[in-house]
Amino acid sequence: MTGRAVLWSKKRPTAPAEFPDPEIGMGDLACILYTSGTTGRSKGAMLTHGNLTSNAESLKQAWAFSRADVLLHALPLFHIHGLFVATNVVMLSGASMLLLPRFEFDAVFQALPQASVMMGVPTFYTRLLKDSRLNRDSTRHMRLFISGSAPLLSETHQQWRERTDHVLLERYGMTETGMNTSNPYVGERIAGSVGLPLPGVEIRIANGGGNPVPQGEIGMIEVRGPNVFKGYWRMPEKTADEFRKDGFFITGDLGAIGADGYVRIVGRGKDLIITGGLNVYPKEIESLIDELPGVEESAVVGLPHDDFGEGVTAFLVRENGAQLTQDAILERLRDRLARFKLPKRVLFLDALPRNNMGKVQKSVLREEYRSLYQEA
């Protein structure tokens, strides 16, 4: 980029009246985005112009964006989803945008007839499903609905398809990398999967030493590509810890890649429960609980336990009017889970704690109920 800019200043009359714009390269820093910091000190992820450009180009191609598109944008602009994923794809493709100040039912349904694409977090879609205005007629003109920033329940995926005849497209990304994978625009969109690696992005599932695990096995998701950030601001030691010597970034997410090539996430590494020396992946238990009649959603965490190290603990939100008890839940799970995976306690909440992007904050549950088994 070259050009001339004019500087007007009453406070600094000795400042030069003109100065040249600096040359900007793809390797230059474009922004510093801070992680949510729910488990400790927030980290500033340094993203370059090349990171943002490559990601926008990949998404434009993967989601078939064009000048004819109009994006319904109700996401917050303080998060990478709304700030860069949505906005950069629109600008790169020459599309248009209907920018709402917040997600609000009436505003969404008023803008929907002028839109062709909507991006949202799962909470948007679960809430819209409760509104009678959502149906095939009100969404017939839409080209695409995209979901991200938090896991999408298979139940929500199914209900959305039944109500609208549209299949939600789920993808996977994070602050440090932008988007990594996506279910296909043309092809099968599988509930419970975040799809295939985006063009130019490499994904592998590795063990603790960074060595790939056999296909289908669970391990750490690692990413390499032009979308991956250059490091954490003023944290060189942390940056070094998060990268393998061959350039792969350790995401902290646990997942597996099936024979179909689709990536499936089972949870965060820090959410892994080790009970009696055995590994338990919360996602497996949550998926079974969420399928039970009367359950709106669930979260499973490990809490300190004198005998087992960690006790598998389930938190549930009931559907309106549902009469559920701990014994009833455990009885339904008994034949579907190994004994060591069964929750030792089932607690019922009015709502699960979430951050501003709709992600369940399991760290809040772990902290608030950390003494549960000590008090028992």
pLDDT, tens digit, 9 for 90 and up, residues 152-171: 888 899 999 999 999 999 99
CA distances to 9, 17, 20 from 6, rounded to whole Å, are 10, 6, 9
Q: Domain 272-375 adopts which CATH fold?
A: GMP Synthetase; Chain A, domain 3 (3.30.300)
Q: Is there a contact between 40 and 51 (Cβ–Cβ < 8 Å)?
A: no
DSSP assignment of 221-281: EEEESTTS--EETT-HHHHHHHB-TTS-EEEEEEEEE-TT--EEEEEEGGG-EEETTEEE-
Tokens encoding 136? 């095939």
Question: Alpha helix locations (H) across 5-151?
Answer: 49-62, 80, 87-93, 105-111, 122-128, 136-139
Say which amino acid occupies 55: N
pLDDT score at 39: 46
The number of angstroms, rounded, from the C-alpha of 235 to the middle of its chain's C-alpha atoms is 24
Name the CATH superfamily for 29-268: ANL, N-terminal domain (3.40.50.12780)
Helix (H, G, I), strand (E, B), or coil: what is residue 5? strand
How much is the pLDDT for 11?
Answer: 57
What own/partner pairs with CB < 8 Å and gap ≥ 24 does 83-86 have? Answer: 84/52, 84/55, 84/56, 84/178, 85/55, 85/59, 85/119, 85/148, 85/173, 85/178, 85/179, 86/119
CB 56 within 8 A of CB 50: no
Quote the pLDDT of residue 313: 98
Low-confidence ranges of the chain (pLDDT < 70): 1-13, 36-41, 375-376
3-state secondary structure of 180: strand
Per-residue model confidence (pLDDT) at position 14? 74
Q: Which of helix, strand or coil describes residue 138?
A: helix
Q: What is the pLDDT of residue 225?
A: 98
Residue 165's pLDDT is: 97
Domain spans, the chain: 29-268, 272-375
Asked whether the beta carbons of 81 and 148 are under 8 A apart, the reply is yes
> Which pLDDT value is given to residue 7?
47
pTM recorded for the entire structure: 0.82
Say what the pLDDT of residue 12 is. Answer: 62
